[in-house]
Amino acid sequence: MEILNEIRFSMPSLSQNESAARAAVSSFIVQADPTVEELSDIRTAVSEAVTNAIVHGYRGTCGRIDLVVRLLPEREIYIRVKDCGCGIADIKKAMEPLFTTAPEEERSGLGFSVMESFMDKISVRSDVGRGTTVTMRKKLSVHGC
């Protein structure tokens, strides 16, 4: 995979860091000149992925969340969100709309559905007891004057 530019950063799984992740990703990808809608879509997908890691991956404990954002050829954005939390036993079930591991917190269970609706491609890898990696891609439109 040819990488035109990349950032990597880690943060503790604190809820207040969700907005910092969203802002950092936005600030980085703005160099690719996304539309306002594309930028909003990516920000929302990142927010959902990071929130999932905080709420479901670490379940009230504190751990590390690693993010990688890459600008690829042909205006493609690559984002990877990784935690070392509890992992997902049944990825297929977890990706079903309205499924949540935290119903007592009144979670909607739409995180993966939101990510899928705003990104072109999403993949989830997980090992119980070792964590989850969510990889998302979005190809930006070509717009001109």
Catalogue the active-site residues. Answer: 48, 52, 107
Residues 6+ positions from 19 with CB-CB distance below 8 Å: 47
DSSP code of residue 7 = E
Contact in structure between 65 and 10 (CB atoms under 8 Å): yes
The tally of CA atoms less than 13 A away on the side-chain side of residue 135 is: 6
Closest CA to 119 of 93, 87, 80, 89: 80
Judged by phi (left if over 0) then psi (alpha if -120 to 50, else beta), residue 60 lies in: left
